[in-house]
Amino acid sequence: MEAYEFYATPENGTIVIPERYRAKITSGVRVILFGQAPQKENSNNNLSGRKSDMLLSPSLKTNGWKFDREFANER
């Protein structure tokens, strides 16, 4: 079984398979739908939703941590 992912907006209950996949899909298909809420555009940049979350730097609270270089380099 091959998997193809694409975004589509249903029109009257119909989802159109993109042209680039039509030749590859020659038999029945299993359909799993994931509804997606409209995303608000972020005013700080052109990215929105999960994509911008992936670009944010992680932050760690390191108060009270002691770094021991010898311990870190032990094998």
10-33 pLDDT, tens digit each:
899 898 988 998 898 888 888 888
Outline where 1-75 has alpha helix (H): 19-22, 50-55, 69-73
Residue matched to tokens 């997606």: 36
Half-sphere exposure of 10 (CA within 13 A, CB side): 7
Stretch 26-42: mean pLDDT, rounded? 78
Report the 10 Å Cβ neighbour count for 31: 6
- Check pLDDT > 80 for residue 53: no
Answer whether 24's CB lies under 8 Å from 39's CB.
Answer: no
- Check pLDDT > 60 for residue 39: yes
The whole-number pLDDT of residue 66 equals 82
Mean pLDDT over all residues of the chain?
A: 78
